[in-house]
Amino acid sequence: MSKMLSKISEYKGQGSVVKGQEKGQKHPNLLFWLLATGYLLLSFVSSCAPKHVELPSYEGIHIENALSELKDIKSIEAVLSVEYEKNDSSMSGDASLNVSEDKLNLRLYYLGFLAGEVSEDKGIIKSKPKLDKNKSTILIDGLKNSFFWWNIKDYTLQEKEDAYELKNSYRKLLISKKTLLPVQQTIELNDGEELKIFYDVPAKSNNESTEGIDQQNQPSNSKPIWYNSRLKIEFKNYIVKIKVKSYSAIK
């Protein structure tokens, strides 16, 4: 860009030559650089503009029907970018996640190398390296409830101005009326501590698959799944910020 602007300056300095040309004659090189510069400026502005995500209309759809559809999902596979904060220190890396209601497998990577692995199967936790209780709570309870937020049971439903509130004895979930996606979730653990989850930036997944069925035989108009691509999990003095890079639901 700076080279182009300097070229234009050079041509401005040659004004006497341009003025000396016959009336109505255009300088071809100057015209070319002006058009090229304008094109690049327009491209830069358009690339910086925020991309609009067209959300579907949920008018007339009851929250219970939406939850019922989501309960058909057996497991979720996702690639994540994870930022882990405690007090004034932080670290970040990538992760691959495979999670269902009663199982979880998480592989953590740092600078492209496998740095740790956590798995949980019906309450039995294995990790390498070994995790303390707080990290285990965030990575297992936090992630499972973040992704399978619709598995709340025995709840009461209260309708608010712009959200639905689902609440039981230990869990409270706020769901946006506009997106039918969660906004915030609070889980009270056995020791009385609270695990808080915040959601943002809806995104659409076209990678829905159905277990045991040939993908070529699936209807081409398969309904896409919407999810939140930004999560924040808070527990005690720990904060985990998650960016979902890819998301695939298996039914």
What is the residue extent of each domain of the chain? 2-48, 63-89+137-250
Q: Which residues of 193-205 are buried (b: 16+ CB within 10 A; e: fewer)?
A: eebebbbeebbeb
| Confidence (pTM) | 0.74
Residue of 118, 140, 136, 114 whose CA lies nearest to 127: 118
Q: Report, as an integer, the average pLDDT of 119-132.
A: 92
d(CA 209, CA 188): 33
73 neighbors 66 (Cβ within 8 angstroms): no
Q: Report, as an integer, the average pLDDT of 150-174.
A: 96
- Identify the band that residue 138 occupies on the pLDDT scale cut at 50, 70 and 90: very high
Report angle CA 206, 209, 214 to the nearest 5 degrees.
Answer: 125
Q: Report, as an integer, the average pLDDT of 168-183.
A: 96
Say whether pLDDT at 224 is over 70.
Answer: yes
Q: 207 is written with which tokens?
A: 């990678």
CATH topology for 63-89+137-250 is outer membrane lipoprotein receptor (LolB), chain A (2.50.20)
* Res 38: pLDDT: 59
* Res 122: pLDDT: 87
Q: Report, as an integer, the average pLDDT of 145-160.
A: 96
Q: Report, as an integer, the average pLDDT of 32-44.
A: 59
